[in-house]
Structure 1
Amino acid sequence: MSSFGFKDFAEALAETKLSGVSFVGQAKNWGTVAEAKDLIDAITNCKTLDYLHLEGNTLGVDAANGIAEALKKHPEFKQALWKDLFTGRLKTEIPQALMSLGKGMIAAGAKLTVLDCSDNALGPNGMTGLVDLLKSPTCYSLQELKLNNCGLGIGGGKMLAQALTECHAASSSAGTPLKLKVFIAGRNRLENDGAKALAKVFGIIQTLEEVAMPQNGIYHPGILALSEAFKLNPNLRVLNLNDNTITAKGARHLAEAIEVMQNLVDVNLGDCLLKTTGAIFISEVLQDGHEKLETLNLGFNEIGAEGGLEIAAALHNKTHIKDVQLNGNQFGTDCRDRITELMLEYGKGDALGPLDEDESDVEEEENDEENDEYVDDETEGEESEGEYEASEDDGDEIIGINRNSTLDEPAPNDLSWKKLNDSVAFVSEEARPNTVETFCNTTVPTLAMFNALEENDKVAAFRAFLQSIPEEDYLVYLVYSILKCSVISKESNEALEVSQMLFNDCYEFAEKTNQVKRVNNFFLYQLGLLKHEDKNFHLVYDIKACRAALQHAIKKNSIPAEARSTFELFLNNC
């Protein structure tokens, strides 16, 4: 967190002059108007209602109607602090209650500056309860919007973006354009599409000073869109994208935006899979300027020694730096010692956080164990879990599914599936949104994930997602999508059908681009039909299920004749 400066002190002092009603943490259950009488009376009798702080209680529809009537008498109302307000309420109750409260404020002609509905299970359904409010004159004055941990999903994110876009357009026409300063929407499963929609709004508003969107399952396409928007918000002071999958590819674009944002005070890119290349991109733009920087979090990013030293060197002129988090990377002992020495030389030793967790030690142990256990049997490792990484050197790896951009030389797997899956931002299967994108970006997706997809036409849904991938990455996503559907094809005829259609698409594209041989070799390696030269290479997928799906594709003529002959030769001799 950034330090508490004079501006913060002035704002805090101003807040002490505000008056209002607070029932914080009282665990009240306001279901009916009668049950909310104390609250309604307090609002009605408050001479100047600057804020209404209701965090830690639970509100029903009937009680919300009564509160709305009381709010109609307070045009001076500014801060709706409604965090954690709907625990235990039905999904149908939340939007109705929010709509009612919004109508009360709109009728009063209130001018909100802060709206905080964090830690409420809104979802897309609940978001409908805020749309009319956000588009109304009541929110033309909005400065802080906090919707952290609300489960908005892609749909809710798009609805939010549309409402803010309309608010900005209407407020601009009225001569008072929306000047949003703080936007907080962490843990909302926005993914790429939600991030892209919000990025468009950020690019329109251009007054942001704080953006926090951690744990949203955002990958490179979403990071690219956000980066372009951040360039148009040069006054950004706080940027938190923790626990999204930025990778080196996204870091390149984000670095360009950071170069523009010279007022940054707090930057949190921890657990974003930046790796060494990504860390170097960020470090290079921090080298000069950014004199106001106080907090930098690049922890748990699989950054190697070179990246660690680049980060330390970039901080030599940061006179205000107070907190640097670099723990959980892959520096090694010598690099950690050197980073500590450099920070001491710069007079910033106190700012450096602990470096006691270093993944390079763990990685070396895992690699040693893998080397010891490796045997020549082609079927060994059939049940193993792992993730193949693209090289850091090109800065263009795509993390989240096993892939290699050239297909003919898959890199060894040196990360366990769970470790990588956690770093991609989804810890449990229940927490993952049910989209084709998430399915394809999960290392080993399950039948439950496939069955939970909303689309009736699964083939069309997979094709639509794959067609959204940049052409240079299309084939890589395609071949891994085939494998992931193949893994569950024994249990699901629908998944088998998807894999067959994707086999068609794969070889059609491979023939057009002269990559048939590469695709053949890739499948031969992944299905354990051809031994890889690198002894650290391990099988990830259920090869029996994948081989069965391949044989089915051969029977259905989903694979061209030359490739069929190749596969049949290996399958008949395995």
Structure 2
Amino acid sequence: MGSIKERYSVICSEFQLPTNPYILQVLENTEGQKGEIVIKLTGNNRLLPVQMLTDEDALALSKTLCNNVSVKALDLRYNKITDEGAKHLADLLQENVALQSLNLMSNDITADGAQFLGKSLHRNKTLKALRMTGNKMGNRGAMHLASMLQINSSLDDLDISDCDLATQSLIAFAIVLSSNKSVRAINLSRPLLFSQQEETTLHLARMLTVNQHLQELHLGKHAMRDSGVERLCEALRENCTLRYLDLRCNSIARDGARHLADWLKQNTSLEILDLSSNRIEDEGAAHLSQALALQNSTLRALSIPSNSIGSSGLVLLAKAMSTNFSLSHIYIWGNKLEEPACVAFASLIKSGRLREEDTDVSPYEVDGRVFLAEVFHGLRRHYYWTPSIGEDGDPASNSALTVSSEARFYEGTKGCIAPSD
């Protein structure tokens, strides 16, 4: 059997398909590799000449890899694959018994493509991670994937954020996750919700009372308010497995932060909490700092950028870190970084209590005054972009913190704080 590149050339000739020079170059780079092979054909690669993939390329790849047992991950994000291409990839999932991760972020796949992929996963027993982020499958497409989870027992990482999900499909996922025992990580961020009653939050809360397998839950941009957070925290008191909770870009204020703090005082499983771009202010930060200083020893990462927190709240959080040695990552940029807060965090960094790579600010001095500059770290650094050539070498990224299986293929884990099993 020849190389993957040779197989690809033969398939293109056999099916009279044009060869894509980008695919040829990437496949050439896999020659000689041993062990698990990851094929990255991202359309936003700026380090190589990119001819974005089309449905014909998806067909060629499907035929090339159908019997391949070495390729474990296929990254096709930011290309021009439509429903027709999704059908070809669904055929690949029917035949291939080795592929464990498929990334289709930001293509042009709609409900029909989601249906093809969902049906293929009724039989597929090897795929562990599927990322559909940014494909406008809508409510109908999401319902097909929710139905798939009633049958599939191998998928453990599903990302359907920014896919125009509606109330009906979110409730369907809440229902199916109440009995599904395989999914460990799911991203349901940025649905299209028009009700102010937070029905979806209530259904997801009920799911969390019975699901003891889910470890990572993303609910960003759900228009969640303090009342929804209260219901969520009530449910989470009965949950002992969730390790990563993402509530970024909601409408959570000080009362919501208080509910979260009360939960953290009792919680023994949560390790990562993302509250970026809410409005908890100083009072909310005070509630969190009290929980972290006195009663929580499990949280390892807290993300609170852009929360209208002033010096008093930030100083309290810095003081909490001086007594809480479990919290190792904290992100604060976008708040009111006045001098007392700058001095407090500069002291944490200078003393070695907080490593610069574990936060999103870096201290500097001008005329004897301390300031903080932003640095490009954070929980979601590698969500939309990952290095295509070489290793990033920086652990302060989304991949270093998530518990999802996809991170194992697409990002390096050197120096990460990935939760222990």
- Note the C-alpha offset of 1:52: 4.2
Where does residue 96 of structure 2 map in the other structure? 74
Give the distance between the partners of 1:38 and 1:266, measured in 2 at CA.
40
Task: Name the SS of the counterpart of 2:307 in structure 1.
Answer: coil
Q: Which amino acid aligns with 1:126?
A: G
Higher Rg of the two aligned structures: 1
Is the 8 Å Cα contact of residues 202 and 230 (structure 1) preserved in structure 2?
yes
Is the 8 Å Cα contact of residues 21 and 42 (structure 1) preserved in structure 2?
no
Q: Which amino acid aligns with 1:56?
A: Y
Is the 8 Å Cα contact of residues 293 and 318 (structure 1) preserved in structure 2?
no
Q: Does the alignment pair 1:28 with 2:34?
A: no
Give the distance between the partners of 2:210 and 2:200, measured in 1 at CA.
16
Is the 8 Å Cα contact of residues 255 and 284 (structure 2) preserved in structure 1?
yes
Is the 8 Å Cα contact of residues 196 and 225 (structure 1) preserved in structure 2?
yes
Q: Does the alignment pair 1:300 with 2:306?
A: yes
Q: Deviations over 1:49-70 (max 9, x none)?
A: 6444432333344444444344
Q: Of 308, 321, 329, which aligns to 1:315?
A: 321
Give the distance between the partners of 1:80 and 1:331, measured in 2 at CA.
41
- Note the C-alpha offset of 1:146: 1.3
Q: Of 170, 185, 188, which aligns to 2:188?
A: 185
Where does residue 55 of structure 1 map in the other structure? 77
Q: Does the alignment pair 1:286 with 2:292?
A: yes
- Note the C-alpha offset of 1:148: 2.2
Q: Of 129, 132, 139, which aligns to 1:124?
A: 139
Q: Deviations over 1:219-258 (max 9, x none)?
A: 1222122223333333433332122111122122212222
- Note the C-alpha offset of 1:77: 4.7
Q: Deviations over 1:462-511 (max 9, x none)?
A: xxxxxxxxxxxxxxxxxxxxxxxxxxxxxxxxxxxxxxxxxxxxxxxxxx
- Note the C-alpha offset of 1:202: 2.6
- Which has the bigger relative contact order, CA under 8 A and spacing at least 6? 2
Give the distance between the partners of 2:284 and 2:81, measured in 1 at CA.
45
Q: Judging changes above 3 Å, is the alpha-carbon distance between structure 1 residues 52 and 274 closer, same or farther for their aligned structure 2 residues?
A: same
- Note the C-alpha offset of 1:117: 1.1
Give the distance between the partners of 1:304 and 1:35, measured in 2 at CA.
52
Give the distance between the partners of 1:63 and 1:332, measured in 2 at CA.
52
Give the distance between the partners of 1:302 and 1:100, measured in 2 at CA.
45
- Note the C-alpha offset of 1:159: 2.8
Q: Judging changes above 3 Å, is the alpha-carbon distance between structure 1 residues 23 and 345 closer, same or farther for their aligned structure 2 residues?
A: closer
Q: Does the alignment pair 1:208 with 2:233?
A: no
Is the 8 Å Cα contact of residues 81 and 117 (structure 1) preserved in structure 2?
yes
Q: Of 134, 138, 161, which aligns to 1:148?
A: 161
Q: Deviations over 1:435-479 (max 9, x none)?
A: xxxxxxxxxxxxxxxxxxxxxxxxxxxxxxxxxxxxxxxxxxxxx
Q: Of 329, 333, 338, which aligns to 2:335?
A: 329
Q: Judging changes above 3 Å, is the alpha-carbon distance between structure 1 residues 160 and 308 closer, same or farther for their aligned structure 2 residues?
A: same
Give the distance between the partners of 2:238 and 2:252, measured in 1 at CA.
20
Q: Which amino acid aligns with 1:104?
A: S
Please list, as runs of the form range in 1=range in 2, the aligned pairs for 1:391-430 lying within 5 A after superposition. none
Q: Deviations over 1:516-545 (max 9, x none)?
A: xxxxxxxxxxxxxxxxxxxxxxxxxxxxxx
Q: Judging changes above 3 Å, is the alpha-carbon distance between structure 1 residues 276 and 27 closer, same or farther for their aligned structure 2 residues?
A: same
* Percent of pairs with identical residues: 22
Task: Name the SS of the counterpart of 2:183 in structure 1.
Answer: coil
Q: Does the alignment pair 1:105 with 2:118?
A: no
Give the distance between the partners of 2:327 and 2:112, measured in 1 at CA.
46
Q: Which has the higher helix share?
A: 1
User: How many residues in Structure 1 have an aligned counterpart in Structure 2?
Assistant: 319
Where does residue 278 of structure 2 map in the other structure? 272
Is the 8 Å Cα contact of residues 208 and 236 (structure 1) preserved in structure 2?
yes
Give the distance between the partners of 2:200 and 2:37, measured in 1 at CA.
37
Give the distance between the partners of 2:258 and 2:89, measured in 1 at CA.
49
- Note the C-alpha offset of 1:116: 1.5
Task: Name the SS of the counterpart of 2:221 in structure 1.
Answer: coil
- For structure 2, which runs of at least 5 residues remain unmatched after alignment? 1-33, 44-50, 364-421
Task: Name the SS of the counterpart of 1:58 in structure 2.
Answer: coil
Give the distance between the partners of 2:86 and 2:308, measured in 1 at CA.
48
Q: Judging changes above 3 Å, is the alpha-carbon distance between structure 1 residues 229 and 82 closer, same or farther for their aligned structure 2 residues?
A: farther
Give the distance between the partners of 1:142 and 1:336, measured in 2 at CA.
44
Q: Of 111, 133, 151, which aligns to 1:95?
A: 111
Where does residue 5 of structure 2 map in the other structure? none
**RMSD, matched Cα:** 3.2
Where does residue 163 of structure 1 map in the other structure? 176
- Note the C-alpha offset of 1:349: 7.3
TM-score by length of 2: 0.65
Q: Judging changes above 3 Å, is the alpha-carbon distance between structure 1 residues 272 and 355 closer, same or farther for their aligned structure 2 residues?
A: farther
Q: Judging changes above 3 Å, is the alpha-carbon distance between structure 1 residues 50 and 305 closer, same or farther for their aligned structure 2 residues?
A: closer
Task: Name the SS of the counterpart of 1:287 in structure 2.
Answer: helix
Is the 8 Å Cα contact of residues 111 and 138 (structure 2) preserved in structure 1?
no
Q: Judging changes above 3 Å, is the alpha-carbon distance between structure 1 residues 321 and 250 closer, same or farther for their aligned structure 2 residues?
A: closer
- Note the C-alpha offset of 1:76: 5.0
Q: Does the alignment pair 1:225 with 2:231?
A: yes
Give the distance between the partners of 1:76 and 1:352, measured in 2 at CA.
37
Give the distance between the partners of 2:95 and 2:340, measured in 1 at CA.
66
